[in-house]
Structure 1
């Protein structure tokens, strides 16, 4: 299944016009700092000049800063000539001169752009064993993020965070693991519409993923505003300290053929009511999946006359 996803993704990238994707730049871990290499490879308008294929599998790629993309960004681990297992290219933070580490690996700031991350092992821990906060952050509006066949390991804050308007996410065939924070409840999450949650969301599709040891939510596109579509199919969610979803803005979508085990392990009591995810109706029940009324902001989408109570 993983090979099918990888081959499909590669084929889609290959058939896209060169004018859209640019040329391919192959990068070895021996070439140096991945941050310096990709940040320097830009066109006159500051967007990336190439798509990037990481060829090294026997050592990690180090980054000394956050890669900030104003335009499309595609980074993928090279597929092995002979398929003998899943072998993604590994990226981690270096230790900076002052002893600190990179807090966020990748940030997408451009509006109406696309990010593609394929066959990568994104490791939160730097070479000194200190974990970073966020792997990928989307700040642009109408951005499309595709993530396939990646491992997100030990991200104590968020694996994927966003606060752009009307962004879309297609997250397929990935592993999210070891994201339990030692003393925080509301971080260690797979996908999060970040505070203050005032972004509209277009589409979220999560399929064929494994979430193993996630502190917060497997999916938290929660927002004060509308989300067009949410799909969560064929995933396995094994242990979450909190409830696996924070999706009370979901109005259309599917949730089929998933496995849930050991969810909501932290439990809840009424001292958290209404603060623990019962923001609109504090007298309703808690649960792994709790069906509650829509908030007025989302209910209005079904009543355009504006008289929804």
Structure 2
């Protein structure tokens, strides 16, 4: 019987493979870097009457080593895909042109068409002009339409004073991997300059940020301020951040694992933030903590004795006009998953807190919870990893709700950065001191080359670290933080196959993937009965190879891997049926998988 089933599977797969296909050549346009404005002329001009894309499947290819002067923002109603030429030179740079009146753009891209697919790969977007002047209140990308499937990978975003990505559209899918967000800050507004800021409430379908580096930014590197179905912040490195790395307190399905936070909330908070009415608006800030969670609360000390108010959890994001109804908020189905994150404040920052608080004579008139005013010394409240109120919410409300909560192995660990990276703390401390004394006037860029334009390549910072314990401390056994700083581990992570148990199977087997149908990722289990080469490949329904998951020698054992719905180039594939094939010298099998979006 097994032989019959195997023959049927092989016949089915062979028929799919043999099906005639019509393969269209890719529509690639190579965009020249000159004259200034050519990139926006070419892309903005590729439209039909009404402004929608004339060629929605077109790929725009930019040349590595070149600088593209942008004279007006790319305003996109539909799909957009940008790639770079092959090579190891600096990615193509998008920079603000200096216009005849000495002005410049204040953002680079705006997406206004619903249901579009956006893929940006290997670009360097910089907010510095050729005269080394930074843009004013600037954004990199504005997403202003609903249901956009947005992917950005292997890119660098440098110098933005408001945010790199502003999300205003509902139900978008964010896939942000292998990027660097650096030097995003505003000289006089310390809440200006970060990687990602979503409106409130803005619902997100998926919100995945994996293997990114955040280096020398002011605030708001990850945002989840609306109903969410799946939010992941994993294997990211965040080094030097002035305030609020996150806006996440009411997230519904939140996974924050295997990250490194180093001086990531350096200012902490002052009495205005902690005591005054900021608490009800931004408890992330007021509590001076990095990880935040809030639930429906009318009984705690904070709700009754301090604020005389009911705190809102995810139910605060009910928005029927945008498809979020009350029945979608199920407290027992909430997920708070915080595991294996490392936190560290260097000694210089701790010493600064002590010295400043011991000597400051500044005081502010603060609005107290009872409505009165009080004169309070302007001390700094050092940040914590998880605030007292967040921990109380986890231990009481979420526990009583039966929510899926895992908070474990979040430790204080010094990664051991290089001398050059460690020295940057002095610039951040000087900035925090200016904030605290009202003398703010200059940003605190990491700028060893003393010039931002054109950007240096390779990047001058190296955030690989020497702490060997941290190099295998992830839930997956890999290093904490962005694995791109450990290339060998990153390569292994990309093809990671986990061993399941020690019992040796007697037969080969490919199990049905689970979940199936799936979105965005599915698990795959298989058994190998004897040592030999194992090839695990995903094909589309036409028999065309989509992705090689594994192709190497394996010993006998039971294994598990996963597929995240991307092809060999890291691009997300369309919804539909896919074929999972395993091939060894002695065994072949195929399973159907269904990807739903």
Provide TM-score, normalisation by structure 2: 0.44
- Could you tell me which residue of structure 2 aligns to residue 176 of structure 1? 181
Q: 2:125 aligns with which of 118, 122, 125?
A: 122
Is it true that 1:167 corresponds to 2:169 in the alignment?
Answer: no
Kept after mapping to 1: 8 A contact 2:269/2:287: no
In the alignment, which residue of structure 1 is the partner of 2:314? 298
> Which residue does 2:520 correspond to in 1?
none
Contact 2:65 2:89 in 1 (8 A): no
After TM superposition, give the deviation of residue 44 of structure 1 in Å: 4.7
| CA distance in structure 1 between the partners assigned to 2:180 and 2:85 by the alignment | 18
Aligned counterpart, 1:10: none
Q: CA deviation at 1:278?
A: 4.7
Change (3 A) 1:18 1:258: farther
Query: Alpha-carbon deviations, 1:137-158, whole Å to 9, x = none?
Result: 1001011110000000011111
The SS at the match of 1:189 is coil
2:205 — aligned with what? 202
Counterpart pick for 1:90 among 87, 90, 93: 93
Secondary structure at the residue paired with 1:71? Answer: coil
Mapped to 1, the partners of 2:331 and 2:123 lie a distance apart of: 44
Q: Distance in 2 between matches of 1:275 and 1:236?
A: 32
Give the corresponding residue for 2:441.
none
Residues 219 and 245, structure 1, Cα contact 8 Å, conserved in 2: yes
Q: Which structure has the larger Rg over C-alpha atoms?
A: 2
- What is the CA-CA distance between 1:211 and the residue it aligns to? 0.1
CA distance in structure 2 between the aligned counterparts of 1:38 and 1:239, rounded to whole angstroms: 36
Q: CA RMSD in A?
A: 2.5
Please list the CA deviations of residues 80-112 of structure 1 after superposition, one character each: whole Å capped at 9, or x if unmatched: 2xxxx4631111111112111011100011001
Q: 1:68: which partner in 2?
A: 75
Report runs of 4+ in structure 1 exceeding 4 Å deviation: 274-278
Measure the CA separation in 2 of the matches of 1:292 and 1:271: 21
CA contact (8 A) 1:135 1:158 kept: yes
- Counterpart of 1:213 in structure 2 is 216
Counterpart secondary structure, 2:230: strand
Partner SS state of residue 257, structure 2: coil
Q: Assess if the C-alpha contact under 8 Å between 2:295 and 2:312 holds in 1.
A: no
Number of the residue aligned with 1:266: 267
Whole-angstrom distance in 2 between the partners of 1:186 and 1:26: 38
2:61 is matched with which residue? 53
Please list the CA deviations of residues 21-56 of structure 1 after superposition, one character each: whole Å capped at 9, or x if unmatched.
Answer: x7211112135521112111224553332220002x
Equivalent position of 2:564 in the other structure: none
- Confirm whether residue 25 of structure 1 aligns to residue 34 of structure 2: no
Secondary structure of 1:100 counterpart: coil
SS of the residue 2:120 aligns to: strand
Give the distance between the partners of 1:90 and 1:242, measured in 2 at CA: 28
Q: Quick check: 1:191–1:221 contact (8 Å CA) kept in 2? A: no
CA contact (8 A) 2:201 2:227 kept: no
Equivalent in the alignment of 1:12: none
Are 1:286 and 2:288 counterparts? yes
Unaligned runs of 5+ in 2: 1-22, 297-310, 316-325, 333-597
Residue of structure 2 in register with 1:109 after alignment: 112
Shift of 1:207: 0.4
Q: Distance in 1 between matches of 2:70 and 2:42?
A: 10
2: CA distance between counterparts of 1:78 and 1:226?
Answer: 38
Checking the alignment, whether the CA contact within 8 Å between 1:156 and 1:187 is kept in structure 2 is yes
Aligned to 2:363: none
Conserved? CA contact 1:228–1:250, under 8 Å: no
